[in-house]
Amino acid sequence: MTNPSYQDRGLLIVVSGPSGVGKGTVCGMLRKRNPNLIYSVSATTRSPRQGEQHGVNYFFHTKDEFFSMMEQGELIEWAEYVGNYYGTPRQFVEDKLNAGEDVILEIEVQGAKQVKELFPEGIFIFLLPPSMDELKRRIMGRGTETVSAIQRRLHVASSECKELSMYDYAVINDRLEHACEKIESILVAEHCHTSRVIIED
């Protein structure tokens, strides 16, 4: 028997959850606390919010540019969400995973389904709010959407939460630090999963 070792391909971590639950905030803190975690920057046709930067928060594209990326197979997955398109650039994610780095995708449910088909070994985490009232408070408190956009996002939120069983883990984002710690524990455990151990005869 050879000495046991862990597989050196990185983990693909998918974080989904309703708008306003705190995906961006939680992933931001995770990245700060774990600088080795790689964040995949998505492509989108939505307009930048105040302070958002091209290449940092998103790659902001026109619809024509986005459709051309889709047609060229440059996206791992894509989805239409409340009137805008979002997708994950393929090359960056594949390169990082092959280099043994862990990659986080912060994406909605339809995209997560497509990723699960392509990467069944991925780790699928769903962030839940402590309550629907708190979700409303957070999304309204963020102040980035119009009232009608908030309503549409909250409407989508209830159907998104029905897809919970597709995910491996549910993390309630009550206190930010607790949510981060739970995700960090999941990642430690997943790195030790038996499917990642190599022992040759």
Ligand X SMILES: Nc1ncnc2c1ncn2[C@@H]1O[C@H](COP(=O)(O)OP(=O)(O)O)[C@@H](O)[C@H]1O
Contacting range for ligand X; rule: CB under 6 A; set: 13-21, 78-86, 87-95, 113-121:
13-21
Helix (H) or strand (E) holding 104: strand 103-106
User: Bridge partners of 127?
Assistant: 171
Residue 27 CA to its chain's centroid (Å): 8
**138 contributes a contact to ligand GDP by CB under 6 A:** no
Contacting range for ligand X; rule: CB under 6 A; set: 19-27, 34-42, 45-53, 56-64:
19-27
Q: In the numeric block, which tokens belong to residue 167?
A: 């995910």
Identify the residue among 27, 77, 128, 180 touching ligand GDP (CB under 6 A). Answer: 77
Q: Is 28 annotated as a binding residue?
A: no
Q: How far is the CB of 29 from ligand X (least distance, A)?
A: 9
Using CB under 6 A, which residues numbered 14 to 33 contact ligand GDP? Answer: 19-20, 23-24
Rounded distance, CA 183 to CA 83, Å? 30
Contact string 87-126 vs ligand GDP (x = CB under 6 A):
xx-----------------xxx-xx---------------
The residue (of 82 and 187) whose beta carbon lies closer to ligand X is 82
Residue 160's contacts (CB-CB under 8 Å, 6 or more residues apart) are 16, 17, 18, 108, 109
Considering CB distances under 5 to 8 angstroms, the limit depending on partner class, which of ligand X, ligand GDP, none binds residue 107?
Answer: ligand GDP
User: Bridge partners of 39?
Assistant: 104
Task: List interacting residues with ligand GDP (CB under 6 A).
Answer: 19-20, 23-24, 42, 46, 77, 79, 81, 86-88, 106-108, 110-111
